Chains A and B, each alone.
Chain A
Amino acid sequence: MIRLLKSTALALTVAAIVPGSAIASGYPSKTITFICPYSAGGGGDTASRMIAKLAGDMMGVKINVENKTGGGATIGIGAVSKAKPDGYTVGFVSTSPITIRPHMMKAPYHPLKDLTYISQFVASNQPLVVLKDSKFKTLKDVIDYAKANPGKLKWSTSVQRGGPHVAVEAMFKAEGAKATFIPFKGGSKVLAALLGGTIDVGMMSEGTKATLDGQTRILAEGTPNKNPVAPDVPTLTEAGYPIAPAIFFGVAGPAGLSKEVLDKWDAVMAKVVKSPEFVALASQRKWALDFAGHDAFTKIVHADYNAAKIAVAEIGMK
């Protein structure tokens, strides 16, 4: 009871202090809008709200999260790209709508021209998993089976036409193997389909916890970051395949943000990712904290965008 009262009091105090301290000079001096292109409750939304709260507390202003969803996250990011570049509208960005989807659809922004990349704070893992007692022991077993039985291997991933989808198709293409992609909506449904025997192979972030839980086995990692649960397993590029795109969570703003704004966010985000709250959230969600400031993040985006452009054209995905 006392604990509840204490926590309520704390929450109220935080709420009361925030608007009061918004009188500091320079950037920021008023409420910042943080656009989350994903709906309330998902991973992107949780991350956005956590950042809004922690960064807001550190900057001494209120940061409001606005969910603007739709169009495979391109609508929300489009809204960020069209905002006034004064630093008072920023947003959450993730891999697919930045480095992958624009090669296949008409996005309402050009990822390299219309956005400023502020910082990357998470690089999640995308393990390629099979059931624990699967006959596939290595990535080579999967490839050999797909080569020997064209179209018989059934696989899926969380987001159709997202980064991991492109990466795995590029791998099959490079090997001259043919597999059948079975679409499911979201990583937890891919895991359910894998456990239920509907598909043979899956690539989704949920695979990390499922492997910890003893349900699955990791055969490869679809991003450049080694999987912490299976550090010996190669990434797709280490295994000699065309791409292993970074699956990042980051903050971006419209093109032409001032140096003052970028410096402020660089400093604050570096502290946010080290805060105990964020570290706890990330470790529970199995996000790999991987901070990259404005310069490094911009480089990652450019490199992955160009690599994906070639891969997408190669496999002919539209």
Chain B
Amino acid sequence: MDLILEGLALSFTLESLLAITIGVAAGQILGAIPGLTASMAVALIIPYSFYFSPWVGIPMLLGMFKGSFFGASTTAILIRTPGTPAAAATVLDGHPLAQQGKGAKAMKMALYASVFGDTFSDICLIFFASLLAIVALSFGPAEYTVLIVLALGSLGMLSSRPAWKGVMAMLLGVVIGMIGLDPITASERLTFGNPELEEGIGLIPMLIGFLAVSEVFQQMNDKTEDLSSAAVRFSTNREDNRVSWLEFKSCVPVLFRSSILGTIIGAMPGLGATVAAFIAYGEARRTSKTPEEFGKGSLEGIAAPEAANNAVSGSNLIPLLAFGIPGDIAAALILGAFMIQGINVGPLAFSQNPVPLYAIYGALILANLVNLVLGFGLVRIARFAVKVPRRLLLVSVLVIASAGSYALRGSLFDIQLVFVFGLLGFVMIRFGFPTVPLLIGFILVPLLEENLRTVLLLASTYDESLLFVFTRPAFVTMTVLMVLGALFFARRRWRKRAVPTSES
């Protein structure tokens, strides 16, 4: 207990509070700018971190990562430009709401969901880190495969009419996702000998082009819109600019489910926040009472991906603290910062010197509060910023999109990609092709391929061949749960059919 207090005392100081505030503010702004990520900012300040006390540097870093998730969703909602890939799923319902003049409502929902997801996963980290880490490690390629198949199943229900257009869009996404190195043999696929394509199509230039630049083209082409009018209009009705208690309450089940999903996915090295957001979105739609609202401005459709992607940011520290394994680049940077400051993380840290760990917990919780408070400020600034005339905003988006994608890896090729995908998105919308299946095909199917083929490779080393998966407890548990879930679903549907409702 004394150790816990000692740890909390380290993070509950005025200087670390100030550091957290600077971190969160910087994170929210960087997150909102497409192409600039919190990871880049952290990499820039690491050489200077020697001159900071650990309890200034580390809280600032944690705040930065937390802030960036929410910052990214404001631009996703208002101008259809996800600041980071993790906010791509937020575009689906956030942007339609903004078009209805309810942008402020959407941003506030995103803020509440972000802070909810963060807090949920931080609590899990504090109380169940070692347990969750063991569960996460028991997940190997076989379990990932099942998880992704499940996700594709629930996301497949985002079907569009006519169905063939959805299938075509998804297949195109799969083909684009296949560009690069074969995940098993590491031989080149669809690269046409171009070394720029060897590492595949970058997620960030692809998303910026496909979502944001296509929207700019769309608006430029729209002759009915007055180009000097405000870029994004906000309703003057007070109800459209806030999230009422009733609305929030209706999202609570989704918030819990998505936070649980995000926490579990974050604890497993290799899936990440973007995948978590899409899986939670699909799951929210599958379990929603009003699935027809999804894609048109459903609050649940914002709550789910936002809670899930933020939950990842807390739980990716789980394998780091329990096993010294960073779950993603953010966790790797945090690990780097700890090491520079001489703080050991890993399985021995809890027994050797737990005080810094408790201080981290304190900083995490504090950062969530700061994120909430500063988030309201960002909503105000964002509302003000998009009041500029449409013709200015459209041009700025193009400039930021190009600069942001260049900054990422200093490649002119990525700017070309942004415009190629902008054109692709524009043409697809023009001819009535849905865009979401392409994103799902691009993000999830290559992951499925990688894991499935690893399973097949593993199978060749076992006497029981592919049946080896049934020797893995995690796989068996997941399969049983999946079958039970399917049975439960089928029964509910059967009952519905047996008792015809008045609507039908």
Residues on A lying within 8 angstroms of B by beta carbon are: 1, 3-4, 7, 10-11, 14, 39-42, 45-46, 49-50, 52-53, 66-72, 74-75, 78, 108, 151-154, 160-161, 180, 182-183, 185, 188-189, 191-193, 195-198, 206, 209-210, 212-215, 277, 280-281, 284-285, 318
Interface status of B5 (Cβ within 8 A of chain A): no
Q: A68-B409, A183-B183 are in contact. Are A41 and B326 (CB under 8 A)?
A: no
Q: Which residues B448-472 have CB closer than 8 A to chain A?
A: 454, 457-458, 460-462
CB-based nearest B residue for A197: B140
Q: B47, A49: Cβ atoms under 8 Å?
A: yes
Interface stretch of the complex, out of B86-94, B229-237, B335-343: B335-343
Q: A183-B183, A213-B324 are in contact. Are A281 and B409 (CB under 8 A)?
A: no
Interface status of B253 (Cβ within 8 A of chain A): no
Q: A3, B140: Cβ atoms under 8 Å?
A: no
Q: A71-B195, A160-B186 are in contact. Are A193 and B140 (CB under 8 A)?
A: yes
Q: A161, B186: Cβ atoms under 8 Å?
A: yes
**Cα distance, A191 to B323, chains bound together (Å):** 9
| 7 pairs of residues in contact across A and B, judged by CB atoms under 8 Å | A4-B52, A7-B56, A11-B51, A40-B44, A41-B42, A52-B47, A69-B411
Q: B196, A71: Cβ atoms under 8 Å?
A: yes
Q: B348, A285: Cβ atoms under 8 Å?
A: no
Interface stretch of the complex, out of B14-22, B150-158, B293-301, B419-427: B14-22
Residues of B within 8 A of A285 (CB): 336, 339
**Cα distance, A246 to B51, chains bound together (Å):** 33
Q: Which 7 A-B pairs have the closest CB atoms?
A: A284-B339, A71-B195, A40-B43, A198-B140, A53-B47, A196-B137, A69-B409
- Among B140, B326, B348, B458, which residue has its beta carbon within 8 angstroms of that of A214? B348
Interface status of B39 (Cβ within 8 A of chain A): yes
**Cα distance, A67 to B40, chains bound together (Å):** 10
CB-based nearest B residue for A14: B48
Q: A53-B47, A183-B454, A196-B138 are in contact. Are A7 and B53 (CB under 8 A)?
A: yes
> Other CB < 8 Å A-B pairs besides A75-B411, A318-B187, 16 of them?
A1-B18, A4-B52, A4-B53, A11-B51, A14-B48, A41-B40, A41-B336, A70-B196, A72-B199, A183-B184, A188-B269, A192-B137, A209-B324, A214-B347, A215-B347, A280-B340
**Cα distance, A7 to B458, chains bound together (Å):** 52
Residues of A within 8 A of B184 (CB): 183
* Residue of A69, A70, A213 with most partner-chain B CB within 10 A: A70
Q: B332, A41: Cβ atoms under 8 Å?
A: yes
Q: A108, B454: Cβ atoms under 8 Å?
A: no
**Cα distance, A160 to B43, chains bound together (Å):** 25
Residues of B within 8 A of A183 (CB): 183-184, 186, 454
Please, what's the 1-or-0 string for B388-414, where 1 marks a CB less than 8 Å from any CB in chain A? 000000000000000000001111000
CB-based nearest A residue for B199: A70
* Residue of A68, A151, A281 with most partner-chain B CB within 10 A: A281
Q: A284-B339, A285-B339 are in contact. Are A180 and B460 (CB under 8 A)?
A: yes
**Cα distance, A153 to B458, chains bound together (Å):** 10
Shortest CB–CB separation between residue A59 and chain B, in angstroms? 15
**Cα distance, A318 to B199, chains bound together (Å):** 17
Residues of A within 8 A of B326 (CB): 188
Shortest CB–CB separation between residue B459 and chain A, in angstroms? 10
The total of chain B residues at the interface (CB under 8 A) is: 57
Residues of B within 8 A of A11 (CB): 48, 51
* Residue of A40, A68, A108, A191 with most partner-chain B CB within 10 A: A40
CB-based nearest A residue for B331: A188
Q: B43, A46: Cβ atoms under 8 Å?
A: yes
Q: B198, A70: Cβ atoms under 8 Å?
A: yes
Residues of A within 8 A of B50 (CB): 277, 280
Residues of B within 8 A of A151 (CB): 460-461
**Cα distance, A189 to B184, chains bound together (Å):** 15
Residues of A within 8 A of B461 (CB): 151-154, 180
Interface status of B227 (Cβ within 8 A of chain A): no
- Among A3, A75, A78, A206, which residue has its beta carbon within 8 angstroms of that of B53? A3
Q: B323, A195: Cβ atoms under 8 Å?
A: yes
**Cα distance, A154 to B140, chains bound together (Å):** 14
Shortest CB–CB separation between residue A80 and chain B, in angstroms? 12
Shortest CB–CB separation between residue A65 and chain B, in angstroms? 9
Interface status of B444 (Cβ within 8 A of chain A): no
Residues of B within 8 A of A7 (CB): 51-53, 56
CB-based nearest B residue for A45: B43
Q: B411, A70: Cβ atoms under 8 Å?
A: yes
Residues of A within 8 A of B47 (CB): 49-50, 52-53, 277
Q: A192-B319, A214-B347 are in contact. Are A284 and B342 (CB under 8 A)?
A: yes
Q: B269, A49: Cβ atoms under 8 Å?
A: no
Q: B52, A71: Cβ atoms under 8 Å?
A: no
Q: B195, A182: Cβ atoms under 8 Å?
A: no
CB-based nearest B residue for A193: B140
Residues of A within 8 A of B340 (CB): 280-281, 284
Please, what's the 1-or-0 string for B161-196, where 1 marks a CB less than 8 Å from any CB in chain A? 000000000000000000000011011000000011
Q: B332, A198: Cβ atoms under 8 Å?
A: no
Q: A182, B410: Cβ atoms under 8 Å?
A: no
Q: B409, A71: Cβ atoms under 8 Å?
A: no
**Cα distance, A215 to B319, chains bound together (Å):** 13
Q: A4-B15, A193-B140 are in contact. Are A67 and B410 (CB under 8 A)?
A: yes
Residues of A within 8 A of B139 (CB): 196
Residues of B within 8 A of A215 (CB): 323-324, 347
CB-based nearest B residue for A286: B339
Interface status of B270 (Cβ within 8 A of chain A): yes
